Amino acid sequence: MNEITIGTTLQVYDSIEELSTDIKDLMNKAIEARENAYAPYSKFNVGAALQLDNNEVIIGSNQENASYPSGLCAERTAIYYSGAKYPKAKILKMAISASSQNQVTDKPIPPCGSCRQAIAEYEIKQKQPIEIYFMGAKGKVVKSESLANLLPLLFDNSVL
């Protein structure tokens, strides 16, 4: 038996003010997108903004449904729209901000497992890492150099 250890290195910024201007702008678009979340059931609003290599920015927010599993997270709303609208564009960066309607969300909220798997597909497709930045409504911002960093042992199409 051999044991393997899997580790990830992330960068943590004290606040949005510590980010470079381009990332700060992208995060502000994610924060703005959060306002368009349709979250009457969870009361948890999430916004995502993608910077593409064609200079376009795509935004998304979570869209819920009375039949709960039919809703979709902000990250997948954004990444699927990006794939549908600009199939040839590469996604360079993704910014995510989440905010509860019930309490102050002051810690970074990472994308859920399903969103990580969905984002991984596009990272593999474009053969280029996607930088991921995530935060709550305020406070620290976490940066991951790639999606793969957030999803060790990811499932990909090499085995199909």
Residues within the interface to ligand THU (CB under 6 A): 39, 42, 44, 46, 62, 64, 71, 73-75, 111-112, 115
Q: Looking at beta carbons only, is 54 or 116 nearer to ligand THU?
A: 116
Q: Which is nearest to 86 in space by CA: 53, 61, 118?
A: 53
Residue located via tokens 């969905």:
118
Residue located via tokens 């995060």:
27
Q: Looking at beta carbons only, is 71 or 83 nearer to ligand THU?
A: 71
- What minimum distance in Å lies between the beta carbon of 41 and ligand THU? 7
For residue 152, the 8-state DSSP code is: T
- What minimum distance in Å lies between the beta carbon of 3 and ligand THU? 30
Helix (H) or strand (E) holding 94: strand 91-100
- Rounded Cα–Cα distance for residues 70 and 50 (Å): 23
Q: Which residues are known to be catalytic?
A: 75
Q: Looking at beta carbons only, is 20 or 103 nearer to ligand THU?
A: 103
